[in-house]
Structure 1
Amino acid sequence: MKSALTILKEQFSYFYLVRRLSVYELRSLTSGNYLGMAWEIINPAIQIMIYWFVFGFGIRQREPVGDIPYLAWMFAGILAWFFINQAVMKSAKSIHTKIKMLAKMNFPMSVIPSYVIFAQLYPHLVLLAIGVIILQFMGFPISIYYLQLPIYMIGLLAFLFSLSLIMSTLTTIIRDVQMALQSVMRMLLYLSPILWPPTSLPESVQPFMMLNPFYYIIEGYRYSLLGEGWYFLENPIYTAYFVGITALTLMVGSYLHLKFRSHFIDYL
């Protein structure tokens, strides 16, 4: 618990630096491209069309999910996944790829995965805004349920940061972790309720699928964007589970980070 409080104090104390470095990170990633930030929209758009064609026309043959057309259902969930995937992968390798460049700067290393995640948040907000506009034309107007969307975004940021403390530490110590993580994230794309509804599985299996914290976030996004209800109120036990797993991940990640960060430079 003490480690978690130390890490949280560092984030609040250096939040101004997190914002500045995240903007610099985003600019550096897009500065060499003619289209710049536009690629943050083009790439997801291409992937959405591919998934819609394969799963909407091919495997599922355009079957709706309940009363919701498949494209709208898939689209609302995958908006969260693009942010999750990029944030996890880039924050996991953030320390061992940037520590040499930032070693002489006077700030705690826990800031590194934090600002990398924030750099991915900006394109996510742009993509989300475009997604909201598209959903209006698909028959899903802005509703009062949008008020709960910030809850899932804050929860997602908290979990991503907590997870990044673990993964960035392990990746710095053991390079193979990054390769294993790539495989896990590909697997989670199909094990999370993004491309197919979990209700198609036997009821005995569905609770095990819900152990995935990203399941909670993705469903929360859907309930918000598609106006299905107040997900966090309708599923209080699952909400408590997500808060608990986030807190546990933060405590474990904080302990590992503080334990090894004075030796990070030795692993480079």
Structure 2
Amino acid sequence: MRALLNILKEQVNSFYLIQRLAKFQLRIDNQSNYLGFLWEILNPAIQMAMYWFIFGYIMRRNDPVDGLPYAFWMLAGISFWFFFNKSILQGSKSIYQKYSMVAKMNFPLSAIPSYIIMSKYYSHLFLLGAIMVVFWIGGYYPSIHYFELIIFVLWSYILAFAITLLTSTLTVVVRDLQMIIQSVLQAMFFISPILWDRSGSLPEWLQSILMLNPIYFLANGYRAGLLTQEWYIINNWELALYNVGLVIVLLWIGSKAHYKFRHRFSDFV
């Protein structure tokens, strides 16, 4: 538990530094593009249009889902995925990529995945704002449930950090883990209720297993805050408690692993 408290203390003490580095990283990622930061919205928009065309039009799934137009249902569920996917992929390899830059500095190594995630978080907030405008135009106006949406937006960051704290440490030791992470994320994308949801037609025991996927909780939570206007956390409090416990366990394991290997990173890098 001491390792976890130390990690959290490093995040708080380095908060200003994390913000500065995240903004710098965001500029680096877009400095060679003529449209610059606009690609942080345009690229996901193009992918979302492609998903709608394939799953909503060609595959004839444009029928309402849970009483919602498929396009809006899909947009709300996928809105966090671009942030989550990029954060895990780039955050997992952040320590072994950036270690040589900070090896001789008094720099908390746990802040490296944090600022990578934060740089993607800024893009996520802008994309989410654009999606909200689309929903307003479509007749889904702001409501008190936006307060619940704020919780899920913050939770997406916390979950991404909990995962990358562990994976960024293990990837330094075993580089092949990066390929496994990429494959797992691809599988999670298609078994989660992001582009489709046929879980209601599955056996109850299989539905219960699929609900253990933390992406299931986030996708439906975003939809609740943006569209369905239900108190998803209250109505599904058992699932909420499970996800809180899952993050605590991931943070604890990640902190233990990080402190165990952080003084040996130079040997592996």
C-alpha distance in 2 between matches for 1:186 and 1:60: 23
C-alpha distance in 1 between matches for 2:127 and 2:142: 16
Q: Which residue of 1 aligns with 2:264?
A: 263
Contact 2:65–2:73 (Cα < 8 Å) also in 1:
yes
Instruction: Give the total of aligned pairs.
Output: 268
Structure 1 residue runs of 4+, over 2 Å off? 58-61, 198-204
Contact 1:77–1:219 (Cα < 8 Å) also in 2:
yes
Aligned residue for 1:226, secondary structure, equals: helix
TM-score (norm. length: structure 2):
0.97
Structure 1 residue 24: deviation in Å?
A: 0.7
* Structure 2 counterpart of 1:249, one-letter code: L
Structure 1 residue 143: deviation in Å?
A: 1.4
Q: Which residue of 2 aligns with 1:237?
A: 238
1:116 aligns with 2:116: yes
Instruction: Provide structure 1 residue ranges, at least 5 long, that are not aligned to the other structure.
Output: none
Q: Which residue of 1 aligns with 2:4?
A: 4
Structure 1 residue 105: deviation in Å?
A: 2.5
Contact 1:145–1:227 (Cα < 8 Å) also in 2:
no
Instruction: Provide structure 2 residue ranges, at least 5 long, that are not aligned to the other structure.
Output: none
* Structure 2 counterpart of 1:248, one-letter code: V
TM-score (norm. length: structure 1):
0.97
Q: Which residue of 2 aligns with 1:206?
A: 207
Cα RMSD over matched residues? 1.1
Structure 1 residue 63: deviation in Å?
A: 1.6
Contact 1:140–1:227 (Cα < 8 Å) also in 2:
no
Q: 1:90-137: CA deviations, max 9, x gaps? A: 100100111111223212100000111000000100001000000112
Structure 1 residue 62: deviation in Å?
A: 1.1
Q: Which residue of 2 aligns with 1:18?
A: 18
Contact 1:143–1:227 (Cα < 8 Å) also in 2:
no
Q: 1:32-57: CA deviations, max 9, x gaps? A: 11111111111101110111011111
Q: Which residue of 2 aligns with 1:65?
A: 65
C-alpha distance in 1 between matches for 2:157 and 2:163: 10
- 1:69-218 equivalences in 2 (<5 Å): 69-197=69-197, 198-218=199-219
Moved more, 104-113 or 118-127: 104-113
C-alpha distance in 2 between matches for 1:53 and 1:102: 45
Structure 1 residue 60: deviation in Å?
A: 3.9
Structure 1 residue 199: deviation in Å?
A: 2.6
- Over the matched positions of the two proteins, sequence identity in percent amounts to 45
Contact 1:91–1:113 (Cα < 8 Å) also in 2:
yes
